[in-house]
Structures are given as C-alpha cells and as structure tokens.
Chains A and B, each alone.
Chain A
Amino acid sequence: MFTGFFFKLREKGVPVTITEWLSFVEALYRGLFKSSLNHLYYVGRAFLVKSEAYYDMFDLAFQEYFGGVKTEDIELEKVLKWLDDPRNKLPALSPEEIEEFRRKMEELQKSVNMEELLRQFRERLAEQKERHDGGNKWIGTGGRSPFGAFGYHPGGIRVGGESWMQSAVKVAGERKYRNYRNDLILDVRQIKLALKRLRELKREGAEELDLEGTVDKTAKEGGEIELVYTRSRENSIRLILIMDAGGSMLPYTELCERLFSAASQMEHFKEFRHYYFHNCIYQDVFEDIANYKRVPTEKLFINFHGGYKVIIVGDARMAYSELFDINGCIDYFYTNDKPGIEWLKRIREHFPYSVWLNPTPKTFWNHVTVNAIRQIFPMFELTLDGLKEAVSALTSKSKQIAN
C-alpha cells in the first residue's frame, strides 16, 4: 500500500528506512489511521520523518503523491523545472567572444540596478505561463533575456543551471534554494553538533576512584580494602584548521567564519589551532591574514606531531601555475621555490588524519587543480552532510586513502 509514496519520499530526500516504513504500514493495517488524509499526514509524518529539517521535503512529497495539501512556494520550483533540460545548449565561445563578454559584463555590473532587475523578474514570473527557450524576454534557457539559465545576458538573474562564467548578478537558482529547503545552510550550532563527533576519549583527565578496579583488587587481597584510582576520560583530539582567505573564497566568507567560530568556541578539543593561506599553501602559512603574520609551514611539522587532525578549508580552485609552478604564487611580492602541490603533499604525509572541506558544490569540482588536490586529500563539501563525512573520515582508525 502506498509503496509509491515511500519512493517519492526517498526521491525528495527524506531519509526513510525500511524499518520505519514497515512500522508505518503496520500501523496502517492495524487500523490506527482513521481514514482521513489529515490524519495520515500528521501521524504518517511522525513515523517517517525523524527531524524537523525534513518536514518541508515531506510536505512536498505528500503533496505530489496525494495532491491534497496546497502550499504557495511552488513558483520558483516551476521555473526550475522549465529550465531543467535546456533544449538548445550554447555552443562554446571563442576567446575573443569571451573577452567581449567579459568587457560587457563589467560595464553592466556598473549599470545594472539589482533591485530593478529583481522587480522585473518577479513581474515576468507572474506574466509567464509556460516553458520558454531562446528569445530575449521570457525566463528560459539559451536566450538573451536577463533571466534564466545557459544564456548570454551578462548581468542577468540566473535561475538554476550552472553558472558558466560566474556572470549572474545574483544566483536565484537551484543550489541556494535547495540548500535552504533542506536546512543545509550550516549555522554555528549545527557545526558544533557535527564537530562533537570528533573525539577520542583517553584516560588523561582528573583522578577518580576506579570502582571496578577497587572491587577486583580488594577481592584479590582477601577483603582488605584497597582503593584503586584511575584518570577520567578526556577528549584527546588536537585540531588544526587551515583556511583559504583568497579572493575566490569571498562568497563563502560567512560560512567559513561560522565554521571557525564553532570550532574555536568549543571547549571540546584538547588543543585547537588555526592558520590561513592565500589560494594555495607554500612555505608559509599565516596566523593573521590581515597583517600577513607568517609562520613557516615547516614549523607546523616540527611543532605538531602526526596525531593532530587537520582540516583545510578552501575552494581548491586556482590557476594552474599557482599549484604546479615554482614562483607560481598569486602575490607578486611572494616567491616560492617549491610548487604548492609539493607542500600539500608534505602536509598530507605528515598529517595522515587530514581532510579538505570545499565550500563549492561538488558539481563544480571538475577543475584541474581541484582534481589534483583531491588526489592528495579526501575532499568533502562544506555542508552538514559533508562535514559529517569529513569528521568520520578524520576519526576512522585506519589511515584513509584520498578519493
């Protein structure tokens, strides 16, 4: 009964398991649902959804399957659907065209009024009744209207799809929207929750009475009370956080700040250190990026043993030379006699428990430097799920191999 609903839920991303589904079905068979849709909705939700973060997805699945409950926020969803498979993808642009495009874009960025654009977008969304491809007015794919996806208007609002040239003034598209729906925008508390899993308990804390030991010892001594003490368990994790403060990370500043404040606020770790770098790591990392207060990377290897866990945060996206060339650093005043990739490899060698968190979505990772770095470090998205995976990779007993 309703098996389709089970798959609909999974499709919408609600993590329903078979156990949960079976107890739901059992309740159905035992007649615990009065035959009303409302009842099925509320009680079914109690069986199938175990976090309020998934309530919204449950609503959507329920709506689609039973068609009963109506919600208003479906507009953007509809638009995304239109844009889902562009009928006419654009041909690749020649370098001259890209150059012209870039010039035009800069011009437009100066002249375009964001608010006006958004207003028009809403207006047109209200007017538009169907899918639209090509052309220069309606929201659709492959056209020159400022709204839509895969199009040529340099200063427009992109709706869904991938940004090819990062040209959209505002990404009103899929990624952001989906994140919001899934509650995957990380707040400090969520990050703290995820980081709490990062622990290794060791008997290093204060002294306390070891009851079992005492009983054991006393019994062996033939009833003569013998007190045994032991040290209480304490988290022995030492964490180093190394963050990219480069220009391409600007859109993710807030996200990284949240990660940083979560990690530093937690009195959970035995030791917590943090450093910055600019696009790629060379012979120095920075304690304070604003003042360029340097610490030789070599020092990290001397001061911190291999048991430290290392989290590197960065988009891993840079020019080819920045990663592979001597003196490839983006800063003109900085020279490096070893290419960045060497340093990354050395970090990985010294700190086998290390991961790379990437704030850009996985679909953007197909880039030469990202791929090269993924060969060295296991890379995860900086989302709630990604963070959880990263934490479990950091704590797994065996030394993991980069994926």
Chain B
Amino acid sequence: MANEYRGSSKYIASRELMEIVNVAIALGKPLLIKGEPGTGKTLLAHSIAEALNKRLIVWNIKSTTKAKDGLYVYDTVQRLNDARFGDKDISDIRQYIKLGKLGQAFLSEEQVVLLIDEIDKADIEFPNDLLHELDEMSFYIPELNEEIKAKHRPIVVITSNAEKELPDAFLRRCIFHYIEFPSPEMMEEIVKVHFPDIEERLIREAIKKFYWIREVDGLKKKPSTSELLDWIKALSIGGIDPEKISKGIPFLGTLLKNEQDTQRLERFIMNQQGSYGMRRRFI
C-alpha cells in the first residue's frame, strides 16, 4: 500500500499506533489521540503528513474557538466598512467569505492531513457542533447558497489533553488511541532519533535518572519527553561526565520548571540519603 504509514525519520511510533493510523486512514474516520503531555500527540500528525508526503493543515483550538470558525467566516465588518467608506463593489459576497481551516482542508486539490489540536480547550459543546461536518465532510454556506464538499476526505487527527470531557456522540465517530508514556527502551530510541551523535552512556544514565525523577511522589508537573530532550542537549553541550549524572542532577532547571517541584525533589533526596545527608552537612 502506497498510503501506508510506517512512522517517519523524526518520530518513533509504536507498532499498534501505526496500525491504528492506517485503519483510520482506510476508513476515513477521525483519529482521536489522548495522552500525557509530551507523548507526541501533536507530532503524530506532523509525522503522518511527512511520511505520506501530504500537506498539513493545523487548526489550533482555543477557549474562544467556535465550530463555525473552522468552516468559514463571513467578514461582515469589512463589508460594512466597504459599503460605507470604500468605493469597492460589494455586491459579490464571495470576497467577504473566508474559509476556515476545515474549509481549506475540504477544498484542497489533494488529500491533506488536518490536525485539530487540543480540542478539549474549547467549549464543552464544540465537538458536537462538528459532528455533521466530520461525518459527511461537507457543510453549507447559506450566504452563498453553496455546499462545500470535500474533494478528498482529509486525514483528520484530533488531540485532547483531557481537560474537558468529550461528548459521547463525538467519541462514537472517532477512532481512539491513548498514547502511553514511552518505556525506557522506547525512550532511548526516541532520544537517539533526535541526537544520533551523543554518547550512549550519557543517554542511558540520563534516561535512568529521568524515570527516577518521574517516580517521585507529588510532583506538580512530571518532566516529559521534550524536557528530557532539552536536558540531554544541555548535558551534552555542557560536556557533563555521565558519572556525574548518576550522582547528582546538573541543569535540573531544564527538567523541573516549577519552584515547588524543585524543592520537593530536594527534600526527597535528603530523606532518601537520611543520616548520610546529615553527616555530609555537618562535616
């Protein structure tokens, strides 16, 4: 199959995820991706576009985004302004209709990948307003009395951070996958894709420490993949000896971005070292 997704050079996808992506493409169903921050939800869409050599259209959802914004916007204010002050011909409404991201994806001459990013940021009802459009891949513009129909069904990838619950009717129409946090082995592969030249021992020590920090109880924000990558980069540029990583945590600021978390980790280390830590302070 020419249209088969097998991951891309910069993105390591698990076997099951690849299969699911392929089935979603074959059936033309939207793919809903959930998972911890930093598990590469958004990157997946980029990777699919890259691997299948298709254009990517990104629709970033904000708390104020309305479903209609994705279809088209009728710029009435501009038209009003032109009618009042301009000397343009305003009889053609078409020039004031601007297609949104979904509309662009529908009208594209070739199949595109449409990423609807962080759909849970919008209002609770937002996904419901898109049901018909995603099902039929068409919508109606009353101002023009025109039906916009997808020339090629776009590959739709939707990501969610689970900040709000998504409506059942919407979920029923999607194919769902929860990306788990990568295992240390997979993480090693991911890191190597990004930094092929960095010394293996450094990577291994860093990953070990990274998972250890993730285990610490009560961190407000656990460090995620992107933080690990930043950290390893910092370690490598700073020329840190892998020995040092197993003993302490240089450049902790790249991993923990929160003052409280840093203190929490320090306290945790103190407790673990127990009397030894005390002794070291007194000597």
Which A positions have Cβ atoms within 8 angstroms of B?
15, 17, 19-20, 23, 26-27, 30, 32, 38-39, 42-43, 46-47, 49-52, 55, 193-194, 196-197, 211, 214-215, 218, 223, 225
Partner of A55, one of B77, B172, B178: B178
Determine which of A51, A196, A223 lies in contact with B84 in the assembled complex, contact meaning CB atoms within 8 Å: A223
Inter-subunit contact B27/A27 (CB<8 Å) = yes
A-B residue pairs in contact (CB < 8 Å), sample of 5: A43-B23, A49-B176, A52-B34, A196-B165, A215-B80
- Check A218/B80 contact, CB under 8 A, given A17-B172, A42-B20: yes
State which residues 19-77 of B face A: CB under 8 Å. Answer: 19-20, 22-24, 26-27, 29, 32, 34, 76-77
**When A19-B172, A47-B175, A52-B34 are in contact, do A223 and B124 touch as well, CB less than 8 Å?**
no
B201 contacts the other chain (CB 8 A): no
Contact size class for B? 20 to 34
A193 to B165 Cα, complex, angstroms: 7
Tell me the minimal C-beta distance from A64 to chain B in angstroms: 21
Which residues of B are in contact with A by a Cβ distance under 8 Å?
15-16, 19-20, 22-24, 26-27, 29, 32, 34, 76-77, 80, 83-84, 124, 163-165, 168, 171-178
What chain A residues lie within 8 Å of B77 (beta carbons)? 211
Which of A26, A32, A223: most chain B CB closer than 10 A?
A32
Bound-complex Cα distance A194 to B24 (A): 30
Q: Contact at B172–A211, with CB atoms within 8 Å?
A: no
**Distance in Å from the Cβ of B168 to the closest Cβ of chain A?**
8
Tell me which residues across on chain B come within 8 A of A42, comparing CB atoms.
15-16, 19-20
A58 to chain B, nearest CB (A): 11
| Closest CB in chain A relative to B29 CB, distance in Å | 7
Do the beta carbons of B76 and A46 come within 8 Å of each other?
Answer: no
Known A42-B19, A43-B19, A196-B124: A30·B176 in contact at CB below 8 Å: no
Q: Contacts of B173 on A, CB cut-off 8 Å?
A: 19
CB distance from B52 to the nearest CB of A (A): 17
Smallest beta-carbon distance A382→chain B, Å: 18
Q: If A52-B34, A223-B84 touch, does A26 touch B27 (CB 8 Å cutoff)?
A: yes
A47 to B22, CA, bound (A): 13
Q: Is the CB of A43 within 8 A of B176?
A: no
Chain A nearest CB from B167 CB (Å) reads 10
Give CA–CA (A391, B26) in the complex, Å.
39
Residues on A with C-beta less than 8 A from B164 are 193, 196
Q: From residue A395, how far is it (CB to closest CB) to chain B in Å?
A: 12
**Contact: B27 with A211, CB < 8 Å?**
no
CB distance from A216 to the nearest CB of B (A): 10
- Report A-chain residues with C-beta under 8 Å of the C-beta of B80: 214-215, 218, 225
* Residues of B close to A32: CB separation below 8 A: 22-23, 26-27
Contacts of B171 in A (CB 8 A): 50-51
Nearest CB in chain A to that of B176: its residue:
A50
Asked if A46 and B165 make an inter-chain contact with CB atoms under 8 angstroms apart, the answer reads no
With A17-B168, A27-B27, A196-B124 given, can you name 8 additional A-B contacts, CB distance below 8 Å?
A26-B27, A39-B19, A46-B24, A47-B175, A50-B172, A55-B178, A211-B77, A223-B84
Contact (A46, B172) CB under 8 Å given A193-B165, A196-B164, A197-B124: no
Question: Which residues of the partner chain A approach B76 to less than 8 Å between Cβ atoms?
Answer: 211, 215
With a cutoff of 8 Å between Cβ atoms, the chain B residues found around residue A214 in the complex are 80
Cβ of B16 and Cβ of A23 under 8 Å apart?
A: no
Closest to B76 in A: A215
Contacts of A51 in B (CB 8 A): 171, 176
- Which residue of B29, B83, B174 is within 8 Å of A50 (Cβ)? B174
CB neighbours (8 Å) of A218 from chain B are 80
| Central interface residue in A20, A26, A214, by most chain B CB within 10 Å | A20
**Contact in complex: A20, B27 (CB < 8 Å):** no
Which chain B residues lie closer than 8 Å to A55 at the CB level? 178
Tell me the nearest residue of chain B to A34, going by C-beta.
B19
The distance in angstroms between the C-alpha atoms of A289 and B119, with both chains bound, is 42
- CB <8 Å contact, B177 and A46: yes
Is B23's CB under 8 angstroms from A27's CB?
yes
Cα–Cα, bound, A19→B29 (Å)? 13
A49 / chain B contacts, CB cutoff of 8 Å: 176
Chain B: CB-nearest residue to A224: B84
Q: Which residues from chain A contact B176 at a C-beta distance below 8 Å?
A: 46, 49-51
Instruction: Kindly list chain A residues whose C-beta atoms are within 8 Å of the C-beta of B16.
Output: 38, 42-43
Q: Is the beta-carbon distance between A23 and B27 smaller than 8 angstroms? A: yes
> How many whole Å from A198's CB to the nearest CB in chain B?
11
- By a CB distance below 8 angstroms, the chain B residues around A30 are 26-27
Nearest-neighbor residue (CB-CB) of B24 within chain A: A46
In the complex formed, the residue of A with least CB distance to B172 is A19
Q: How distant is the Cα of A239 from the Cα of B29 in the complex, in angstroms?
A: 40
Q: Which residue of B lies closest to A190 (CB)?
A: B165
By the criterion CB–CB under 8 Å, are A223 and B83 in contact? yes
A76 to B: closest C-beta gap in Å:
24
On chain A, the residues within 8 Å of B124 by CB distance are 196-197
Complex CA distance for A32 and B25, rounded to whole angstroms = 11
